[in-house]
Amino acid sequence: MAKSQLRPGLTLIATPIGNAGDITLRALDALRDADAIAAEDTRVARRLMDIHGVSLRGRPLIPYHDHNAASAMPRLMELLRGGGRVVFLSDAGTPMVADPGYRLAKAVLAEGIPLEATPGPCAAIMALTLSGLPSDRFTFAGFPPNKREARRTFLRELAPLPTTLILYESPKRLAASLADMLEVFGPRDAAVARELTKMFEETRRGSLDSLAAMYAEEGAPKGEVVVVIGPPAAAEPAGEADIDAALREALETMTTKDAAKKVATALNLPRKQVYDRALALKND
């Protein structure tokens, strides 16, 4: 067996999001070599280790999740301060992505203890790569709030962002959530990725109105879902006729300079270009 690469400190391990084969060789090495294993759900961690033939060999397997962080953290920090090699894995995917791990990682960094990660599956990234939507700039915003009014407020805050949006959602709220997204975002291009890496994996692509109508009719789908929404359409740059019309109106009551300033700001154009055009119109 290759010599262990795992160093003292905390290593965050990404785990499969459905297909047990999606775990890296480095992640398995880390699980094999760690002095202690912290897991969101120790049964889920045990199952994964069993599938891949990694035995516990009497090492501590410590539950660590949002609700027991206060009591579990001191034990983990003690091991880490003593130079222990501790790994942490959440139930599925990348720790800290809508999953526990943040408080632990923060505490580790605050004490100058090394933090490492073995990268791997993440439902948000897989959904983005399958969505067919722009991927040069994207925003992951986790789960929208459950209640309708709070969800709409949350979506309204995201609406102006010029990026693709990625949201996790529960299947039972999917139809209601898509209806709110349609109302707030309009009929943008979107995708719903479901059961990624599993037997019934599917990605539906279409405009938000068609997806909202589809799930309103079909009801809650089975399994886990990610919603990806394309960015807002870029505003068309103002044409010459728009600039002239705005300038003529402004010039009726303003100086050339003030009219150019107002129109340049309103149409998001360079002030010099608008000023030159205002002068030309005035001299006509």
In degrees and rounded to multiples of 5, residue 235 shows phi and psi of -65, 140
118 binds ligand SAM per the rule CB under 6 A: no
94 binds ligand SAM per the rule CB under 6 A: yes
Q: Which of residues 24-83 bind ligand SAM (CB under 6 A)?
A: none
Q: Measured from the CB atom, is 76 or 196 closer to ligand SAM?
A: 196
87 binds ligand SAM per the rule CB under 6 A: no
Q: Measured from the CB atom, is 123 or 264 closer to ligand SAM?
A: 123
- State how far the Cα of 169 lies from the Cα of 193, in Å rounded to an integer: 11
- State how far the Cα of 59 lies from the Cα of 35, in Å rounded to an integer: 6
Position of minimal CB gap to ligand SAM: 93
Least separation in angstroms between residue 194's CB and ligand SAM is 6
| Concatenated DSSP letters of 19-70 | -TT---HHHHHHHHH-SEEEESSHHHHHHHHHHTT---TT--EEE--TTTHH
Binding track, positions 145-174, relative to ligand SAM; x by CB under 6 A:
-----------------------xx-----
Kindly report each contact of residues 151-156 with a partner whose C-beta sits within 8 Å and lies 24 or more positions away, as own/partner: 151/177, 151/180, 152/180, 152/183, 152/184, 155/180, 155/181, 155/184, 155/185, 156/184
| Concatenated DSSP letters of 220-232 | SPSS-EEEEEPPP
15 binds ligand SAM per the rule CB under 6 A: no
Q: Measured from the CB atom, is 7 or 67 closer to ligand SAM?
A: 67
Give the CA distances from residue 62 to residues 6, 36, 49, in Å, rounded to whole numbers and listed in that order.
19, 8, 14
107 binds ligand SAM per the rule CB under 6 A: no
Least separation in angstroms between residue 17's CB and ligand SAM is 4
Q: If binding means CB under 6 A, how many residues of this protein chain bind ligand SAM?
A: 23
Binding residue (CB under 6 A) for ligand SAM from 33, 99, 180, 189:
99
Least separation in angstroms between residue 246's CB and ligand SAM is 46
Q: Measured from the CB atom, is 95 or 231 closer to ligand SAM?
A: 95
Neighbours of 247 (CB within 10 A): 26
- Reduced to 3 states, what is the DSSP secondary structure of residue 214? helix
Binding residue (CB under 6 A) for ligand SAM from 38, 225, 246, 278:
225
Chain residues that interact with ligand SAM, rule: CB under 6 A: 17-18, 90, 92-94, 97-99, 122-124, 168-169, 193-198, 224-226
